[in-house]
C-alpha cells in the first residue's frame, strides 16, 4: 500500500517516503471513547525492521449494534537520514460483512496525511491525500476486506481488498496454505496465519522491508 521509491531520490525525500511506507495500512479514524463496546477483542503486534523493534501496534475489534468496528493504533520511531516519528490510528467500519467506512490519518515529523472512504449506497467515495499521492477515484462494487480486518480473520483468496490509506483495490492471492499476498500499488505484502490467526505480516519496501509480529 505504499509506492516503490526511486533509487535516485534525495535523503530527505527518501525519509518522507519511508515514513509514508510505515503508514501502510494504518491511520486515524472515527474513534469515540464514549462508544458502547461489545465483545471487545485486542491483539498486540511489534513492528520490526531488519530484526530490530521500532514500535508497537495495538488492534481492537468490537461490535456496536449492526456495525463491527476495527481500531488500530501504532507509534513508530526509526533513524533514517534523521529521526522519523510516525503515529497512526485507523478506524474502519463493517456492516453485514462489508466494508462501509474508514477515516485514516497519519501524523509524522515529515508531514501529516488524511484519507476518507465511505459507501454511499452505489459506490465508495474516496478522498485520499498522502505524500506525492492523491486519489479521488470512486470504487464500484462492495468490498469485504481491508487491512484492519485481516488482523482478526484469515484472508480469503480471490476477494477484493481495499487500502484504507490509498483508496485503491486489489485481489487477494493465496500463495500456499495460510499464506496470502496483496499488491497495492506495486508492492507485494505477505500475511502468515496459524489456526486462522495472523502471526506475521511482511511489508515490502524498496529501501527496507518491515514486519508486524504477533506478541499477544
pLDDT band at 21 (very low <50, low <70, confident <90, very high): very low
Tens of pLDDT, residue by residue over 55-73, are 999 999 999 999 999 999 9
Tens of pLDDT, residue by residue over 99-116, are 999 999 988 887 899 999
Residue at 6 is within a domain: no
Question: CA–CA separation, 75 vs 69, rounded Å?
Answer: 20
pLDDT band at 82 (very low <50, low <70, confident <90, very high): low
Beta bridge partners of 71: 60, 91
Residue at 153 is within a domain: yes
Q: Is 25 a residue whose pLDDT tops 60?
A: no
Residue at 149 is within a domain: yes
Residue at 113 is within a domain: yes
Q: What distances in angstroms separate CA 98 from CA 92, 145, 209, one per listed residue?
A: 11, 7, 30
- Which residue has better confidence, 180 or 84? 180
Q: Is 23 a residue whose pLDDT tops 60?
A: no
Beta bridge partners of 49: 52, 210
What is the phi/psi pair of residue 134, to 5°? -140, 145
Residue at 73 is within a domain: yes
Q: What mean pLDDT, rounded, does the chain reach?
A: 83
* pTM (two decimals): 0.79
Residue at 3 is within a domain: no
From the list 27, 19, 1, the residue with the least C-alpha distance to 76 is 19
> Is-contact 165 128, C-beta < 8 A?
yes
Number of folded domains in the chain? 1
Provide the domain limits for residue 48: 11-214
Local structure of 5: helix, strand or coil: coil
Which DSSP letter does residue 152 get? T
Residue at 4 is within a domain: no
Question: CA–CA separation, 144 vs 52, rounded Å?
Answer: 33
Nine-digit cell at 4? 516503490
For residues 136-141, average pLDDT = 97
Q: Is 34 a residue whose pLDDT tops 50?
A: no
Q: Is 12 a residue whose pLDDT tops 70?
A: no
Residue 192 half-sphere exposure toward CB, CA atoms < 13 A:
9
Please tell me the predicted confidence (pLDDT) of residue 214.
Answer: 97
Amino acid at each position: 500500500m505504499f509506492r516503490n521509491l526511486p533509487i535516485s531520490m534525495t535523503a530527505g525525500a527518501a525519509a518522507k517516503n519511508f515514513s509514508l511506507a510505515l503508514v501502510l495500512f494504518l491511520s486515524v479514524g472515527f474513534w469515540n471513547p464514549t462508544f458502547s463496546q461489545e465483545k471487545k477483542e485486542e491483539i498486540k503486534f511489534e513492528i520490526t525492521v531488519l530484526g530490530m523493534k521500532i514500535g508497537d501496534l495495538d488492534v481492537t475489534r468490537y461490535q456496536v449494534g449492526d456495525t463491527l468496528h476495527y481500531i488500530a493504533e501504532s507509534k513508530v520511531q526509526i533513524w533514517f537520514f534523521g529521526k522519523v516519528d510516525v503515529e497512526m490510528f485507523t478506524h474502519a467500519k463493517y456492516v453485514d460483512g462489508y466494508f462501509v467506512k474508514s477515516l485514516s490519518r497519519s501524523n509524522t515529523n515529515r508531514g501529516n496525511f488524511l484519507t476518507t472512504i465511505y459507501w454511499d449506497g452505489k459506490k465508495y467515495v474516496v478522498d485520499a491525500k498522502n505524500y506525492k499521492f492523491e486519489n479521488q477515484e470512486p470504487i464500484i462494487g462492495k468490498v469485504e476486506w481491508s487491512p484492519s480486518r485481516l488482523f482478526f480473520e484469515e484472508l480469503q483468496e480471490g476477494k477484493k481488498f481495499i487500502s484504507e490509506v490509498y483508496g485503491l483495490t486489489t485481489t487477494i492471492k493465496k500463495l500456499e496454505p495460510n499464506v496470502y499476498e496483496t499488491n497495492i500499488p506495486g508492492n507485494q505484502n505477505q500475511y502468515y496465519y496459524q489456526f486462522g490467526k495472523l502471526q506475521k505480516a511482511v511489508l515490502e519496501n524498496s529501501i527496507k522491508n518491515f514486519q508486524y509480529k504477533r506478541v499477544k
